[in-house]
């Protein structure tokens, strides 16, 4: 038996919510892992990522009955996800910063790039670089590279125009390159 489309599940969920949740749960099973994956890359901690995932799902639960299908469900879902993540980051950015001594310590690089420790370090470095981007730029990069959205979908999900989405992505990659080059040169100086 063929699985129902997102549109069919949305229509069913709109008719059922809040009393029956079967269609909503099917949508979340279908898309929840990708929401969580995006939240993990966006947030600074696993706990924050879990909270963001739950917040997105709750928001979808309460807003789905009013969804008008002016865009596809997934485009709307990514817009909700982007807004929740960016709002979370803005709340964090408005708090006073705490100084971490761990950030000042140099971590020695493993010699073999095929080493699993080196791969984990590279992932951590990339996540650290991504967190240095403004939240809006970080979201565009993650929607493109992690989720695999086309620029038209990114534009709809973020509320940007198509050319603005492309430009924001290009500028974000330039910033990441500059940050990485700065990290490489400071790493070389300390080694």
Could you tell me what percentage of the chain is helix, strand and coil, using 3-state DSSP and rounding each to the nearest 5?
75, 0, 25
Q: 3-state DSSP call for residue 94?
A: coil
Are 5 and 47 in the same domain?
Answer: yes
Same domain as 59, residue 136? no
Q: Distance between CA atoms of 165 and 157, rounded to whole angstroms? A: 10
Residue 127's CB is within 10 A of a number of other CB atoms, namely 14
Backbone angles phi, psi at 182, to 5 degrees: -65, -40
Choose among 142, 179, 158: nearest CA to 71.
Answer: 158
User: Cα(61)–Cα(57) distance, rounded to whole angstroms?
Assistant: 6
Considering its fold, how many domains does the chain have in total? Answer: 2
pLDDT digits (tens, 9 = 90+) for 115-153: 566 555 556 667 778 888 898 998 999 898 888 889 999
pLDDT of residue 109 exceeding 50, the answer is no
Cα dihedral 94, 96, 98, 99, rounded to 10, equals 100
Please state the rounded mean pLDDT for residues 25-32: 94
Q: Are residues 2 and 91 located together in one domain of the fold?
A: yes
Do 129 and 39 lie in one domain? The reply is no
Q: How do residues 45-103 score in pLDDT, each as one tens digit?
A: 889 999 999 999 999 999 999 999 888 999 999 999 999 999 888 887 776 644 443 44
Question: Residue 101: inside a domain, yes or no?
Answer: no
Print the domain residue range for 49. Answer: 1-96
Judge if 91 and 5 occupy the same domain: yes
Report how far residue 156's alpha carbon sits from residue 189's, in angstroms, rounded to the nearest whole number.
Answer: 43
Integer Cα distance of 62 and 16 in angstroms:
12
pLDDT of amino acid 11: 94
């Amino acid at each position: 038996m063929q699985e129902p489309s997102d549109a069919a599940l949305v229509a069913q969920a709109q008719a059922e919510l809040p009393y029956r949740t079967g269609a909503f749960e099917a949508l979340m099973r279908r898309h929840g892992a990708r929401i969580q994956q995006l939240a993990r890359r966006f947030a600074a901690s696993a706990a924050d990522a879990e909270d963001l995932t739950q917040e997105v799902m709750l928001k979808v639960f309460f807003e789905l009955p009013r969804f008008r299908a002016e865009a596809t469900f997934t485009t709307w879902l990514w817009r909700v996800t982007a807004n929740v993540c960016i709002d979370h980051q803005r709340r964090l950015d408005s708090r006073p910063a705490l100084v971490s001594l761990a950030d000042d310590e140099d971590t020695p690089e493993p010699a073999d790039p095929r080493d699993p420790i080196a791969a984990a370090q590279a992932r951590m470095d990339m996540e650290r670089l991504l967190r240095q981007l403004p939240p809006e730029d970080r979201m565009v990069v993650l929607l493109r590279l992690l989720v695999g959205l086309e620029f038209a979908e990114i534009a709809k999900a973020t509320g940007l125009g198509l050319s603005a989405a492309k430009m924001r992505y290009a500028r974000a990659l330039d910033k990441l390159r500059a940050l990485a080059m700065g990290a490489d040169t400071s790493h070389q100086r300390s080694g």
